[in-house]
Structure 1
C-alpha cells in the first residue's frame, strides 16, 4: 500500500473546499491501494514525509509568498528528510488572489533543494474565486493518487 500525504493550508471556506477536493480526488473509488493522509501544515512534520510515497502541497498566496504555515512545515521538515526522501513525487496547488508567481517560485526553490520530483507543473488558481478550482484540485489529486497506485510515480 502506497501513501499520499496532502499538506494544505486552508484558512478560509474556499481554501477548505480545495483541501476537501484534494482528499476526494485522492480517494477516488477506483483507487484502492493508496492510503491518504491529510494534514494542515502546522500539524504535519518530518515523520509524515518519511512515511509517504508522494506529497501534494496546497497553499494560499500571502503577500506574494507561500503561507506562513507551509513555510513552517518546510522549516521543521527540510533537514530531517533531505537525504532520505530525494526523488519524492510532489505536486502543488496555489490559491492566488493575484498571479501566484512569487509563491510558486518560493515553493519551487525549496522543492528543488529537497530534490523532490514534480509530477506536473504547479497548479495556480488565480483571481476571483471560481467553482472550477474545486474540479481542478480534485483532478490533480486523483491523478497523483492513481499514479502512485500504478507505480508510475
Structure 2
C-alpha cells in the first residue's frame, strides 16, 4: 500500500478548511491503495517521512516565511532523510493574511535542497478560502495521493 503523508500547521479556521479539503481529495473513494497519514508539523517524525511515498505540506505564511512549526519539521527531518528521500513527490498549500510568496519560496528552497520533486504548483490562499480554493485543495490532495501510488510502484 502506498503512503501519503500530510504534514500541516493548522492554527486557524481558514487553514483548517484548506486541510479538510486536501484530506477529502486524498481520501477520495475512487483512489484505492493509498493510506493517508496526517501529522501536525510539530509531531511529524523521521520515520513518518521515510515511510511516505509522497508528502503534502501545509503551512501559514508568517511574517514572510513558513510557520515556525513547519520549519521545525524540516529542521528535524532534513539530515536524517536527505539521501533516502531524494525524488519524493511533494505538494504544498499555504494560507496568508496578506501574502504567501516568502513562505512558498522558503518551503520550495528546503524541499529542493532535499531533492524532493514538486508534484503540483502550490495552492496559495490570501484571506478566507472560497469554493475555488477548496476545490484546488481537494485536487491537490487527490493528485498527490495518485503521485504516492505512482512513486510506490517505482520502488
Superposed structure 1 runs of 4+ greater than 6 Å apart: none
Is 1:48–2:48 an aligned residue pair? yes
Is 1:131–2:138 an aligned residue pair? no
Match of 2:140 in 1: 140
Count of residue correspondences: 152
List runs of 5+ in structure 2 lacking aligned partners.
Answer: none
**What SS does structure 1 have at the residue aligned with 2:66?**
coil
**What SS does structure 1 have at the residue aligned with 2:32?**
coil
* Residues 59-106 of structure 1, C-alpha deviations (whole Å, 9 max, x = no match): 000001000000000001100100100000001011122221111111
Tell me the C-alpha RMSD between the 2 structures: 1.5
Matches within 5 A, 1:65-144: 65-126=65-126, 128-132=127-131, 133-144=133-144
List runs of 5+ in structure 1 lacking aligned partners.
Answer: none
Deviation larger for 142-151 or 82-91: 142-151
Asked if the contact 2:53/2:149 (under 8 Å) is kept, the reply is no
TM-score, L = length of structure 1: 0.93
Counterparts of 2:47 and 2:38, CA distance in 1: 14
1:135, distance to aligned residue in structure 2 (A): 1.8
Against the structure 1 CA distance between its residues 145 and 99, is the aligned structure 2 distance closer, same or farther, given a 3 Å change threshold?
same
Deviation larger for 141-150 or 56-65: 141-150
TM-score, L = length of structure 2: 0.92
